[in-house]
């Protein structure tokens, strides 16, 4: 078991390095146009996720792109890299190009109202994925995981493991999805005697931010014994930070996503639990909605994708080496 853990720790640091390299290589996603097999009078689909430095969004994007290519239409993908102003500029650019549909995951859920109003004035259909925007009246359809429930089910499991706990919460304050997950967790555990939230840390859902920020909290002498993370990129950063400080055996780590890396950590007992998201299903639903809108058919205003709890007891029921 000791040798197996060493192997997993090595994998953690490989993942950390891959993500850091990905921050550089993600520049290649900043401007990406897909136009293979383009038909005459093709529709133009504009897409902006909050970052492409996350496998979750790449999977959603692959599903949408496959549908767009099969229809002979064109997709324009822009990566704002967690910069809200850049996202607005990129959407403005896509509107100037005459897009028919905008698919967007907001960097800052309150920042897009003006540019979405312009999109509606240009009769552009708007599909929001993964994380809500502030004014849903501007949106034709929003497709997300049940983010609040994800926080709730992890919180409920947490309470079965801990009678007393001092919890650090890793957040992403400008993302509505992150807010909802954290709110679900805190709503569930608050009011239970002996459970205390000792600190909230905004890590923007990124491994390379979560790791040093938690290390700083440890260096400052903050007393904690559990960490709840809004997603599993930050969970992996937390695990790496705790391992670096030789505290991993003393701190429980909980996340949301059930990414392949986090499922491996759960299997080995280095994370306690995660809530499984289904990015392929989100991408498939988005692709379906895009083409229903282009055919002037009715769509649901809000589509919630259910989440599932993943623990060491059931992790083998999921495919550990890939997204569910």
Q: What is the pLDDT at residue 32?
A: 63
Residue 14 has pLDDT above 50, yes or no: no
> Per residue in 203-236, pLDDT tens?
999 999 999 999 999 999 999 999 999 999 999 9
Per the CB < 8 A criterion, the answer to whether 45 and 68 are in contact is yes
In angstroms, the CA 123 to CA 113 distance is 15
Looking at the fold, whether 211 and 272 belong to one and the same domain comes out as yes
* Share above pLDDT 90 across residues of the chain, in percent, rounded to a whole number: 87
Over residues 21-39, mean pLDDT: 57
- The residues, ordered by sequence, that sit 6+ positions from 206 with a Cβ below 8 Å of its Cβ are 51, 53, 82, 233, 234, 237
Mean pLDDT (the chain) is 92
Looking at the fold, whether 52 and 193 belong to one and the same domain comes out as no
CATH code at position 101: 3.40.50.2300
Residue 118 has pLDDT above 80, yes or no: yes
Within-domain flag for 140 = yes
Instruction: Report DSSP state, residue 28.
Output: G
Q: What residues make up the domain containing 214?
A: 147-277+310-317
Buried b (16+ CB within 10 A) or exposed e, 74-103: bbbbbbbbbebebbbebbeebbeeebbbbb
Instruction: Report DSSP state, residue 170.
Output: E
Looking at the fold, whether 28 and 113 belong to one and the same domain comes out as yes
What sign results for the dihedral spanned by CA atoms 315, 318, 321, 324?
Answer: negative
- The residues, ordered by sequence, that sit 6+ positions from 68 with a Cβ below 8 Å of its Cβ are 34, 45, 74, 75, 287, 290
Within-domain flag for 1 = no
> Per residue in 52-75, pLDDT tens?
999 999 999 999 999 999 999 999
Within-domain flag for 177 = yes
In angstroms, the CA 288 to CA 310 distance is 28
Q: Other C-beta atoms within 10 Å of 221: how many?
A: 6
Within-domain flag for 8 = no
Over residues 102-110, mean pLDDT: 98
Within-domain flag for 11 = no
Helix axes 260-267, 2-25, angle to 10 degrees: 170
Beta strand 44-48 pairing with 74-78: parallel
Over residues 300-322, mean pLDDT: 97
Q: What is the pLDDT at residue 268?
A: 96
Looking at the fold, whether 249 and 200 belong to one and the same domain comes out as yes
Q: Which two tokens stand for residue 64?
A: 């949408």
* H helix or E strand, kind and range, residue 142: strand 141-145
Within-domain flag for 115 = yes
> Per residue in 281-295, pLDDT tens?
999 999 999 999 999
Query: Which of the two residues, 29 and 226, has the higher pLDDT score?
Result: 226
Ramachandran bin of 49, using left for φ above 0, alpha for ψ from -120 to 50, beta for the remaining angles: beta
Looking at the fold, whether 195 and 112 belong to one and the same domain comes out as no
Looking at the fold, whether 39 and 125 belong to one and the same domain comes out as yes
Residue 36 has pLDDT above 90, yes or no: no
Q: What is the pLDDT at residue 18?
A: 45
Within-domain flag for 3 = no
Looking at the fold, whether 264 and 151 belong to one and the same domain comes out as yes
Q: What is the pLDDT at residue 51?
A: 97
Looking at the fold, whether 244 and 286 belong to one and the same domain comes out as no
Looking at the fold, whether 155 and 46 belong to one and the same domain comes out as no
Residue 12 has pLDDT above 80, yes or no: no
Residue 7 has pLDDT above 60, yes or no: no
For the chain, how many structural domains are there in total?
Answer: 2
Residue 27 has pLDDT above 50, yes or no: no
Looking at the fold, whether 160 and 266 belong to one and the same domain comes out as yes
Residue 309 has pLDDT above 50, yes or no: yes
Within-domain flag for 78 = yes
Side-chain-side CA neighbours of 307 within 13 Å: the count stands at: 26
pTM as predicted: 0.92
Q: What is the pLDDT at residue 40?
A: 83
Looking at the fold, whether 299 and 240 belong to one and the same domain comes out as no
Looking at the fold, whether 302 and 232 belong to one and the same domain comes out as no
Cα 94 to Cα 67, 75, 154, 310, distances in angstroms: 20, 10, 38, 39
Residue 39 has pLDDT above 70, yes or no: yes
């Amino acid at each position: 078991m000791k040798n197996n853990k060493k192997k997993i720790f090595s994998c953690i640091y490989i993942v950390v390095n891959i993500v850091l390299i990905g921050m550089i290589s993600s520049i290649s996603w900043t401007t990406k146009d897909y136009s293979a097999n383009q038909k005459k009078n093709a529709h133009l689909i504009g897409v902006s996720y909050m970052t492409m430095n996350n496998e979750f969004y790449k999977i959603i994007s692959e599903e949408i792109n496959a549908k767009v290519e099969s229809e002979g239409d064109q997709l324009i993908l822009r990566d704002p890299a967690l910069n809200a102003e850049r996202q607005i500029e990129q959407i403005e650019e896509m509107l100037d190009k005459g897009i028919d549909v905008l698919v967007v995951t907001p960097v800052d859920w309150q920042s897009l109202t003006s540019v979405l109003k312009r999109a509606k004035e240009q009769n552009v259909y708007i599909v929001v994925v993964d994380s809500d925007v502030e004014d849903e009246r501007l949106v034709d359809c929003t497709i997300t995981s049940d983010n609040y429930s994800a926080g709730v089910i992890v919180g409920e499991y947490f309470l079965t493991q801990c009678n007393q706990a001092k919890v650090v919460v890793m957040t992403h304050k400008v993302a509505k999805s992150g807010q909802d997950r954290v709110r679900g967790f805190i709503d569930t555990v608050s009011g239970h005697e002996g459970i205390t939230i000792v600190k909230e840390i905004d890590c923007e859902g990124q491994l390379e931010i979560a790791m040093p920020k938690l290390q700083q909290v440890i260096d400052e002498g903050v007393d904690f014994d559990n960490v709840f993370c809004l997603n599993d990129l930050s969970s992996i950063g937390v695990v790496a930070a705790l391992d670096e400080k030789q505290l991993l055996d003393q701190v429980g780590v909980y996340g949301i996503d059930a990414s392949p890396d986090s499922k491996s950590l759960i299997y080995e007992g280095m994370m306690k639990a995660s809530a499984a998201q289904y990015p392929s299903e989100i991408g498939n639903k988005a692709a379906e909605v895009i083409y229903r809108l282009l055919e002037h058919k009715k769509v649901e205003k809000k589509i919630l994708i259910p989440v599932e709890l993943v623990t060491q007891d059931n992790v083998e029921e999921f495919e550990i080496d890939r997204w569910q």
